[in-house]
Structure formats: C-alpha cells, structure tokens
Structure 1
Amino acid sequence: MQALGEVLAGNRYPGRGVVWARTGDGRCCGAYVLTGRTRASQARELRRAEGELVVAATEGPGGDPLRHYVGARERGEWLVYGNGEQVAEVGARLDLGAGPGSALSGLSYEPDPPIFTPRITAVVHHPTGRAWFGAARRSARGREEADVLTLAVGALAPGDAVLMTTYRSDGRTVAGAEPYVETVTRAAAPGGPDGLVAEIWDALDPGLRVAVAVFEPGALGGALLRHR
C-alpha cells in the first residue's frame, strides 16, 4: 500500500483534501489540505477563530464563498472539516441532534462548471474517535442531482490513514478524484501530528500548495498550520 505522501505526490493537483489518520504513536488526527492554481486561490490562508479554522483571503476583498469559508468547526462532541460552506451546514445539523449519516445527506457539488467540484466533508465524534466521510459529486452522466457517498471509517490501527480529495490531475488535465483512498502514514512517535504536517506538506507541488492544517479531536484551537 502506498504511503500518504506518495499518494499525494502522485496527484499533481489534488485541489482540497481531508485526511483522517492514526499516527505511529497512536494519536488520531484530522488534516485539511488546500492547494490552488490561480492567484486568487493561492492568496489564501487558514486562520484560527473561536472553535473554527477559516479559509480567508490574504489579499483583495475576499468574500468568495467557493474560496473563503469555515474549513473546520468544533462544537461539543463533534469535529467537522471540509472544502466549503457545507461544513457549517453539517455542523448545525449535528448540533440539532442529527446523526452523521443524516448530517452528510442532501448536499450538492459546487456550482463551478465545467468541473463541478465535489464537496468533501469529514465528521469526527470525539468520545469514540469514530469518523465519517461524505462526498457530494456530479455524476459522470451529468445528472443535476448530486451523487452522495457516505463512508463510515472503521477503527484505525497506528499508521492507517484515509484520504479524500476533490481532484485527480496529471498536471495537464483535472478531473474529479476517486471516492477515497486507504493509505498509510509514516508519521511516528515522538510528535506524530508534527510528522503528519510535514509528510503532507512536503508531498504537495511547491507551486500549488497553499496551506495544511493538522488537528486532534477536541483541540482544534491548537491546530498545526503550514502556509506557502
């Protein structure tokens, strides 16, 4: 099985990505990956806010909901992270008592033809360490209603990782990525989360990488951040 860094290095432009991993020292971590091709997409950063990580513009007025949004949110027992405004929507559903499957249902892909970027979301339950991934994608046949995949991730052993990205690219063409990839992380003790940040960041194309965040459930405010 390929290592996480190798999988990312083999995908020239992953777009945005969510990771759920258990490092070699046994610590469960989430990660959010942000890359960009245009100047506007690259002029972004992750900012800490109360109970949130916000994807914000570093230049210009900002305010583009497809580029600027709450990328991670933590309330009570739930951590939610993903690539758009659906993070807040899923979090609000969980606050009202919905289960992860229900909270991830009924979402749609982004309205950005011709690629129609998938909306990808991860949900983590702190007390149990269980995680769910959701992806709302446009069908290959072009149906208007999204195809929605929900994955309940089984308990991870040390070194296990699951990755979901928006795109798959060879550097010339860009297409929607496979639903998810099971992989392994080489981040190990001591300092597993630090190793995970480095493993992801170093694997991304230097000309396209924008930001990476790694965080443990219940400690989003202490997220480790890397920026271009």
Structure 2
Amino acid sequence: MNVKDMKAEIASTSYPGRGILLGRSEDGKKAVIAYFIMGRSANSRNRVFEAMGDDLRTRAFDESKMEDPSLVIYNAVRVLGDTTIVTNGDQTDTIYDFLAEGKTWEEALRTRTFEPDGPNFTPRISGVVCNKTGAYRLSILKSDNGDETSAQRFFYEYAQPKAGEGHFIHTYMGDGNPLPSYEGEPTPVTVRGDLAQFTEDVWQSLDPENKISLFTRFIDLETGKWETEIRNKNQ
C-alpha cells in the first residue's frame, strides 16, 4: 500500500469519526501518537480532552448538558510502565488491566466487541506503543457489515516503524446513516515536522464543523520523556 499524505488523508472525508495515528518522527528519534474525536450530536460535541497526569480522559464541557455519558466519557490514553495505550473507548482500561496482569492486549480485546450503538455499531479502535523501541500495534473490533450478531477482530503489528511514516485508522469511512465502519488495513501516512507542526497539521485537516478534540504526543525513544499537546474546540 502506498504511503499517503497525512493531511490529505484526514481531510478526505468530513466525518472519519474517532481516529488513531501511530508512527515515527521524521528524524526517527521519537514515537508519534495522535488521537482525535469528532461528533455530530449535541451530546457528542459537548466534550473536551483533559490531561490526568500522564494520561488523558474525555469529560463533559458543560455537565448540565450531558445526556448520556456511556460511550462518550472514558479514559482515552493510559501509560503502564514502558507502554502507552490509546483507544476510542473504555477498552483502554481493559487493555491496561490485562497488561498489568501479564496478559496480552489481544487477550484483552477478545473480551470486547464493537460499541452497542446500533445501527452504527461503532468500531472499537485501539493502539499500544512501546515507549522504548517505538514499535506499535493497532486493532479494530467491528461488526460484519452491520450485523450485530457477528463480530470481527483485526490486529496489526509494526515492529520496525520507518522514520517519517505512520499508520492511521478511524471508526468510519465517512458520513452516512447508518455510519459506514472503517474498511481495510490501517492506512500508511506521512509524518512531518516537530510536535507543534504535526499537531497543527492534524487539527487543520479535520473538518471544522465536526472536530471536537485532539491529543498528540512525541516520545523520545532515547530518554523515554515525552511532549504532549491537546486541542479542544470547546473553550
């Protein structure tokens, strides 16, 4: 699969939903993470990202307007030792707990399935990054063409990431009713610039009407230290 321009790929649809991009910086020295959320309903749009130490969670921007916290309020990023976990739902905690017990992330995700929000049955997308080597994995749990009785689980491993490249996966192929689930392998994309430039490129590529929040992190593979940026449409 050809490597695609990251900005063009993100901007290719007005509603990719929630998205994870994992990769390696141009200089090859940093692991790269991006996670964004979008929304169409008032409930989905009433959210912000909030840092919790090294971790990240979603929370209501206006608590008085939150209608249903299930599926929209969760820990999106958690760090366990040398591993960073990023997902689009409460499977973040499932993965964290399994890894803490010495089990695998595949074992964790085999206990989970797509979200119970029919008729969309939104896929659960997840990623884990080794903070020492920069190796990363991605996964998607989805329905079989909207059939809620049939779950599909896909796992992808990238042991030797290339400098200036990453892989991008998101929940939907585009807008629609019901929303069409993501199809195919994670898309290989370019990764350009430092953290500030990368963050700006992702944020500006997201549809201005539907984007809500963005989290980015560059992890120095030599020192293990990281830099993080958070963008929230709601201020």
Q: Secondary structure, in 3 states, of the residue corresponding to 1:167?
A: coil
1: CA distance, partners of 2:148 / 2:118: 13
Structure 1 113/134 Cα, relative in aligned 2: closer, same or farther at 3 Å?
same
Change (3 A) 1:171 1:107: closer
| Structure 1: gaps of 5 or more residues | none
Q: TM-score, normalised by structure 1?
A: 0.90
> 1:71, CA displacement in angstroms?
0.6
Which of the residues 61, 76, 81 maps onto 1:58?
61
What letter corresponds to residue 218 of structure 2 in structure 1?
E
Q: TM-score, normalised by structure 2?
A: 0.88
Equivalent in 181, 193, 196 of residue 195 of structure 2: 193
Alignment correspondent of 1:105: 110
Mapped partners of 2:102, 2:142: distance in 1: 25
8 Å contact kept, 1:14–1:168: yes
CA contact (8 A) 1:83 1:121 kept: yes
Distance 2:188 2:196 in 1: 18
Evaluate the alpha carbon distance shift between residue 49 and residue 126 of structure 1 in structure 2; reply closer, same or farther with a 3 A threshold.
Answer: same
Q: Select the residue among 176, 182, 188 that pairs with 1:177.
A: 182
Structural mapping, 1:153-168, within 5 Å? 153-168=158-173
Q: Which amino acid aligns with 2:203?
A: W
Of residues 139, 143, 147, the one that matches 1:142 is 147
Shift of 1:219: 4.9
The answer to whether 1:82 aligns with 2:87 is yes
Identity, in percent, stands at 25
Q: Show CA shifts across 1:46-84 (max 9, x none).
A: 101133200111012546120010010012121101110
Structure 2: give runs of 5+ residues left out of the alignment: none
Query: Counterparts of 2:43 and 2:205 in 1: how far apart (Å)?
Result: 22
Q: Could you give the per-residue CA deviations for residues 118-167 of structure 1, whole angstroms, max 9, x where no partner exists?
A: 00100112222221111110112615242111111241211211011001
CA contact (8 A) 1:31 1:212 kept: yes
Secondary structure, aligned partner of 2:94:
helix
Alignment-mate amino acid for residue 216 of structure 1: F
CA shift in 2, pair 1:28/1:145, >3 Å:
same
Q: Map residues 16-95 of structure 1 onto 2, 5 A cutoff.
A: 16-26=18-28, 27-61=30-64, 62=66, 64-95=69-100
Following the alignment from structure 1 to structure 2, what is the Cα–Cα distance between the partners of residues 153 and 180? 12
Rounded Cα–Cα distance in structure 1 between residues aligned with 2:82 and 2:103:
13
Are residues 19 and 64 of structure 1, via their aligned partners in 2, closer, same or farther at CA, if it must alter by over 3 Å? same
Cα distance in 2 for residues equivalent to 1:176 and 1:87: 20
Paired AA for residue 20 in structure 2: V
Read off the aligned partner of 1:156 and give its amino acid letter: P
Q: 1:124 to 1:114 in 2, by over 3 A?
A: same
- Structure 2 vs 1, CA of residues 171 and 108 (structure 1 numbering), >3 Å: closer, same or farther? closer
- Of 146-155 and 85-94, more deviation after overlay is shown by 146-155
- RMSD, aligned α-carbons: 2.0
Contact 2:11 2:207 in 1 (8 A): yes
Cα distance in 2 between the residues matched to 1:9 and 1:205:
7
